[in-house]
Amino acid sequence: MSLVSIDPATGRRLKSYDVFTPRQIESSLARAQSAFLGWRELSPAGRARHLRALTRTLRAQAGDLASLAAAEMGKPVAQGRAEIAKSALTCEFYAKHGGSWLADERPPGAPSQARVAFEPLGVVLAIMPWNFPFWQVVRAAAPILMAGNTLVLKHASNVTGCALALQDLFTEAGFPRGVMQTLLITSKQVSALIADERVRGVTLTGSTAAGKSVAALAGEAMKPGVFELGGSDPYLVLADADLDHAAEICAQARLFNSGQSCVCGKRFIVVESVRRDFEKKLVARLSARPVGHPEDPTTAVGPLARADLRRDLQAQVTASVRRGARVLLGGKIPSGEGFYYPPSVLTNVRRGMPAYDEELFGPVAAIISVRDEEQAVAVANDSIYGLGAGIFTRDRRRGRELAGRIESGQVFINEAVRSDPTLPFGGVKQSGYGRELALWGLRAFVNTKTIWVR
């Protein structure tokens, strides 16, 4: 069996890779466990030095890494470079702050003879998606390794080249052998890994279906997990919103990573009194975004990552139109090679349509009309997902009040939702549980131990 990389801009095969044998998997786990025994004894300052070296390595190779992501999953190179820059910034952030967050603490009000220590767990399995092939891994690996754990990576099969490049990056940055390893395995081989006693935790970013399956395995094995899953982020455009600003931010959000992001605007919930104006402005901005080859630096929207993803997206659009949605822009697969899909806008979207009920993983905006802000909040929460949300209003105080009523892991007011290494990131409901990044990400895979000395 092999893992295959396909160029989404042409549909042609790039390379195939042999899947690891059971013996190779065993060797990798043994190395990870052995490396943990030494890595956990290294001081936080020592681990931070390795992260700073990784920061330099990422920045030095940003161009080559961006081209690799463009080739394997179609990310426009400008966005690929930004992904590498964010990855480097995250390593730098944990190198700076990780040591203080791992120091023993005496909680307020606790007895003077008591302290709380934060100790690493061991080997952590990271199961990562293709849409941000470097950032998703680094944002998990940086805090996991800084905490003193080691990591084995099961990456998405279509970005195997990126997965191997990541392992090389850690090696070039001087990390000890076995601290971070890429496993070339299939999804069917994951259950045995989770059951292995050497694996002490699991982190997964991916679909809700994948998350449920892996979370069940982790639960059965009594192992902690962090799960960042699907999202159908609502962006609320209220009657007093600056429509030019709202349309620009919503266009950026919907086309981020060619629309292939869990945390980007998908459902645009617009108060009816401003709906028509907002639709015109959004269509104008989406139609102006250049669609093209991901290696072209002017490209804003590249191809979707796989042929099946484009087929699924078109099926969702077609089903929504059959149930009463109206196409304002795009909505059809173009001719020619590659897996391109045009920026698209659907309006008259209502409950019972895929564009309302499901996640649209591609550059399709769904506009939902509501009477007022009260109905806007109700519609925003009428979803199985709860990852991110946006609110557009000139009344920032009112926006803050409404943010407290929206069921999601993060709400941005007059801005696009995004992750930041200084802030916790994650969702509620079917968007998962646990938090990545900031202090919360660092302590996701530690033993929080009370120590009492008489």
Q: Are 437 and 416 in contact (CB under 8 A)?
A: no
- In DSSP notation, 242-262 reads -HHHHHHHHHHHHHGGGG--S
Q: Per-residue b/e over 142-169, b at no fewer than 16 CB within 10 Å?
A: bbbbbbbbbbbbbbbbbbbbbbbbbbeb
Asked if 264 is an active-site residue, the reply is no
- What are 6's strand-pairing partners? 13
Dihedral, CA of residue 157, residue 263, residue 318 and residue 328, to nearest 10: -140
| Token digits of residue 244 | 């030019």
Three-class DSSP category at 357? helix
Nearest alpha carbon to residue 224 among 91, 299, 125, 141 = 125
The burial class, CB within 10 Å (0-12 / 13-18 / 19+), for 397 is exposed
Type of residue numbered 342: P
Element (H, E) at 163: helix 160-172
Three-class DSSP category at 369? strand
Question: Which stretches of 126-263 are DSSP H helices?
Answer: 135-146, 160-172, 190-195, 208-220, 243-255
Asked if 436 is an active-site residue, the reply is no
Question: Which stretches of 323-392 are DSSP H helices?
Answer: 354-357, 373-381
Indicate the pairing of strand 13-18 with strand 2-6. antiparallel
Taking the C-alpha atoms of residue 404 and residue 410, their distance in angstroms, rounded to an integer, is 10
CA torsion sign, 126 to 129 to 130 to 132? Answer: negative
| Token digits of residue 176 | 């000890």
Dihedral, CA of residue 249, residue 255, residue 259 and residue 265, to nearest 10: 10
CA torsion sign, 136 to 404 to 276 to 281? Answer: negative
| Token digits of residue 441 | 């990400």
Per the rule left: phi > 0, alpha: psi between -120 and 50, beta: everything else, 436 is beta
Residue 222 phi, psi dihedral angles, 5° rounding: 55, 50
Catalytic residue among 91, 250, 262, 264: 262
- The residue written with tokens 């250049």 in the block is 290
Catalytic residue among 72, 83, 92, 228: 228
Element (H, E) at 388: strand 388-392
Which residues are known catalytic residues? 228, 262
